[in-house]
Chains A and B, each alone.
Chain A
Amino acid sequence: MAESTFLDANELVLNMGPQHPSTHGVLRVILKLDGETVTGTECVIGYLHRGVEKIAENRTYIQFAPYVDRMDYVAAVSNGLGYCLAIEKLLNIEAPPRAQAVRVILTELNRITSHLLWLGTHALDIGAITPVFYCFRDREEALKIFENYCGARLTTHAFRIGGLQYEVYDGFEQEVRAFCDMFIPKVDEYEELLTNNRIWVNRLKGVGVLTGDECKEYGVTGPVLRAAGVKWDLRKAQPYSGYEQYDFDIPTAQNGDTYDRYTVRMEEMRQSVRIMRQAIEKIPSGPIMAKVGKVVKPPMGEAYVSIEAPKGELGYYVVSDNSTQPYRVRVRPPSFVNLQALDRMVRGGLIADVVAIIGTLDIVLGEVDR
């Protein structure tokens, strides 16, 4: 699309979105088509732009914390963790071990809810209607834990700078354990529905191939990168919040197609359960909040912290000018960077594959546009 504005006689320009149901939000993709083959794409984003980074400059450090939940709203806890870690790095403090363990449990639970939402909607895009009901039914159990813990289901605002605001409620351990026991058979159930299904396999195998080198060129992270055979997970590469204590594998696949990204994400949910099981067994006792004053006023400086969010590397770059408000907050959202590879993936494919590829990238438009 970008290379030439003129069309050949047999070419056609088609607008997909911003109200298309399978663009998962308000993404507009301009497709240049030759018959049913996609010869070029252009993404138009910004329909959900709220200027979150600018809002940050007019809020105190504590006040901005609820806003980061609203960027990737299906993984609000991960966003909150990344932001809190960045400010803690600026303040040169660390959350107490008890807070770190609870943070790990909640972020892994959030990874599961995010992947479940992805699986349900992705399968719905491909045409499998059943998994979405099962996914949302089981996601509900995880959301109940969030609601019991911090009082909100989606935009949780669970973590505070320096630790946690809320002590875990009575029965938190039992509920998380019950969820872990309940959830593993459910993943097998989803796999029974989809993994061998001939329509699912035929629609996904060999579609939207992105090799490991191409992933690195585009800066693609997360399950998309791991499905291309690159063993890169920030939880292992630069552990944060005590991830080095837990024993888990990085699921990878070889082909880098849409089907591999599906298997990688399914395996990631199992690994998340594994981490949660280890973390729940040894939640240390002690305080849940480090020594942070009522007014957060970091010294002059800057900090970049990146974490492994469900969708990839989520980074927060915060500049402090020694006042109560951040001078600049820059977010490195995984969805936005992963979306840039869309053109490479759909070019030469069929128009029906565009839906599958947008689904497999697992974008959240709140995070793409910010």
Chain B
Amino acid sequence: MFRLLKTILLWDLLQGLWVTFRNQNPKYICTEQYPAERPKIAERYRGAPRLNINPDNGETLCIACNLCALACPENLIVVGSARNEETRRKELSTFTYDTSRCMFCGLCEDACPVDALELTQDFELASYTRDGAIWDRQMLEEGPKPSKYLS
């Protein structure tokens, strides 16, 4: 009898509707207003790569050891180096990083012995051309410059 009454009064549906009613409370809103408000990115986020420079003299920290290129599963890092005839040391000349093939696994930054290559919190990597996804040394040192919308 009680069950019949429950069926006729649509108790099961009302029970579900009560959940939806409770959840319309504005304090449960979790939509992110993305371009207007920047999302909070985790400290360890693996995003755009960056080649760190020494802030004191502007020289690159990279010692051109090629370990990141060897660690990369996709072989997308190309390190170019030249021997400096005065100091007799290997110095970095070019550095290419193909972000279009990168899966951001973080193995390159784990391999780097001097913390020169790092995956940063920048996540806006879109570009209008395919070539734009292949980052050269200058781009890696300066970082991406995404357009600002809605200021």
Q: Which residues of A contact B (CB under 8 A)?
A: 59, 62-67, 70, 130, 134, 137, 140, 144, 147-152, 155, 157, 165-166, 169, 189, 192-194, 196-198
CB neighbours (8 Å) of A70 from chain B are 103
Chain B 31-75 interface 0/1 with A at a Cβ cutoff of 8 Å (1 = within): 000000000001111100000000000000000000000011100
- A66 B103 Cβ-Cβ under 8 A: yes
The CA-CA distance from A157 to B72 in the complex, in Å, is 14
CB neighbours (8 Å) of B72 from chain A are 63
The CA-CA distance from A137 to B30 in the complex, in Å, is 7
- A193 B107 Cβ-Cβ under 8 A: no
CB neighbours (8 Å) of B11 from chain A are 196
Question: Which of B15, B46, B73 is the one whose CB lies under 8 Å from A67?
Answer: B73
Query: Smallest distance from the beta carbon of B42 to chain A beta carbons, Å?
Result: 4
- A130 B43 Cβ-Cβ under 8 A: no
CB neighbours (8 Å) of A65 from chain B are 105
- B23 A134 Cβ-Cβ under 8 A: yes
CB neighbours (8 Å) of A134 from chain B are 23
Question: Which of A66, A144, A198 is the one whose CB lies under 8 Å from B105?
Answer: A66
- A151 B15 Cβ-Cβ under 8 A: no
Question: Which of A64, A66, A165, A196 is the one whose CB lies under 8 Å from B15?
Answer: A196
CB neighbours (8 Å) of B15 from chain A are 192, 196
Query: Smallest distance from the beta carbon of B34 to chain A beta carbons, Å?
Result: 14
Query: Smallest distance from the beta carbon of B118 to chain A beta carbons, Å?
Result: 11
Q: Does chain A have a CB within 8 A of B85?
A: no
The CA-CA distance from A166 to B45 in the complex, in Å, is 12
Q: Does chain A have a CB within 8 A of B20?
A: yes
Query: Smallest distance from the beta carbon of A116 to chain B beta carbons, Å?
Result: 15
Question: Which of B7, B20, B44 is the one whose CB lies under 8 Å from A148?
Answer: B44
- B16 A197 Cβ-Cβ under 8 A: yes
With contacts A63-B71, A151-B119 taken as known, whether A157 is within 8 angstroms of B106 at the C-beta atoms is yes
Question: Which of B18, B30, B103, B106 is the one whose CB lies under 8 Å from A151?
Answer: B106
Query: Smallest distance from the beta carbon of B1 to chain A beta carbons, Å?
Result: 18
CB neighbours (8 Å) of B150 from chain A are none
Q: Does chain A have a CB within 8 A of B95?
A: no
Q: Does chain A have a CB within 8 A of B5?
A: no
Give residues of chain B (75-120) contacting chain A, Cβ–Cβ below 8 Å.
Answer: 103-107, 110, 119
With contacts A147-B45, A151-B46 taken as known, whether A165 is within 8 angstroms of B13 at the C-beta atoms is no
CB neighbours (8 Å) of A63 from chain B are 71-73, 107
- B12 A196 Cβ-Cβ under 8 A: yes
